[in-house]
Structure 1
Amino acid sequence: MNRNAPFRVVCLAGPSDSGKTTLVEELVSRLSEHGRVATVKSIHHDIEIDTPGTDTHRHRTAGADTVVGITPELTFDISTHGKRDPPDRPDGTALLESEDPEIRALGSTLTRLERQGYAFVVVEGFSAAPLPTVLVGDREPAAVGGDVIGRGEDDVDALVAAIRGLEPLVDRD
């Protein structure tokens, strides 16, 4: 893990079924050639990702703030703080100081990913976030919170170069 690598974050914003997830797949594949990549997906409805009755579900419902599951192939964590109740982290980026709980939840997640040494994070959704943004579909620049750095129909090589050239979200010096 290269903790000195810049931490770059890009947001993909567009309407449903506009091709965001397909573009995320392409960008992750290409960016992973240059460093560790994480993704964050905004989900607008509650889903149960931890099957009731499993041990991890029992741990969470017993009151654990975070449950980590380690399988032979995957490690996952489930935290009780989502968009409605993001954790307080006063020592982070401006995202954590936002009045919008969804943006604070994203900021908390990005802080955690930065601490874990990721070089890139591709965020799908969270269009109001003040992050560099690739517009996908017919989304207009005025509908997003960040500076537009490209469009979904742009050449993937150009988008990768634009993402790699972003100012780091967090200065690791």
Structure 2
Amino acid sequence: MSSQLFQQPPVLGFAAFSGTGKTTLLTRLLPQLCERGLRIGMIKHSHHDFDIDIPGKDSYRLRKAGASQMLVASSRRWALITETPGREEASLAEMIGRLDRSTLDLILVEGFRHERFPKIELHRAATGRPLLHPDDDSIIAVASDVALATALPQLDLDDVAAIADFVDRFRLQTLQSGITP
């Protein structure tokens, strides 16, 4: 992976087992980062088949009729839907490359936990799931609802302001030092 791809702007992931609260945390974190004036790009991995198009709408009908790429545009937003049957799952690098990085200050990633790039592990004791960081040296911190025996920086999973501070420090340090995954 190109280190520049992960530095300009910096890329930081949130990794955890399903049910830990990644999306919930990110929906609380994003407004705090935006209040700081940051322009955030977001990439979310899904293990499930998904559809962002609405059945019955023209774009859905055209895509289902055979369009392998369907771009829908309005004065407020645009979306590109690309069919990828029979293809391997897209890599994080490929997805980052699809973003207009020149308009972003930071890219946050939910999921892609098996790829090597800087990540914060989320851990909730009630899930009973094991920690990821002992087997993933690209995890740079752990946000948990309990104290853990780890040398990594620990964040309180419920202290969104402290997590926002950590994320912003990571962004600034990455830009200043050229950290690579």
TM-score under structure 1 length normalisation: 0.69
The equivalent of 2:106 in structure 1 is 120
Q: Percent identity?
A: 26
Give the direction of change, closer, same or farther, for the CA distance of 1:62–1:135 in structure 2 (3 Å limit): same
The runs of 5 or more residues in structure 2 that have no matched partner are: 1-6, 124-129, 145-154, 156-161
After the TM superposition, which residues 151-162 of structure 1 pair with which residues of structure 2 at under 5 Å, given as runs? 151-153=142-144, 154=155, 155-156=162-163, 157-162=165-170
Cα deviation code 1:125-158 (max 9, x no counterpart): 11011110100015321444x6122222412212
Confirm whether residue 75 of structure 1 aligns to residue 67 of structure 2: no
The equivalent of 1:111 in structure 2 is 97
The equivalent of 2:39 in structure 1 is 36
Question: Larger RCO: Structure 1 or Structure 2 (Cα < 8 Å, ≥ 6 residues apart)?
Answer: 1
Separation of aligned partners in 1, 2:109 and 2:103: 16
1:160 partner SS: helix
Cα deviation code 1:46-93 (max 9, x no counterpart): 1232223321112323433332223464432212238x62xxxxxxxx
Confirm whether residue 132 of structure 1 aligns to residue 107 of structure 2: no
Q: How many residues align?
A: 147
The runs of 5 or more residues in structure 1 that have no matched partner are: 86-100
The alignment yields a C-alpha RMSD, in angstroms, of 2.7
Runs (4+) off by over 4 Å: none
TM-score under structure 2 length normalisation: 0.67
Separation of aligned partners in 2, 1:164 and 1:79: 34
Following TM superposition, by how much is the alpha carbon of 1:34 offset from its aligned partner in structure 2, in angstroms? 4.2
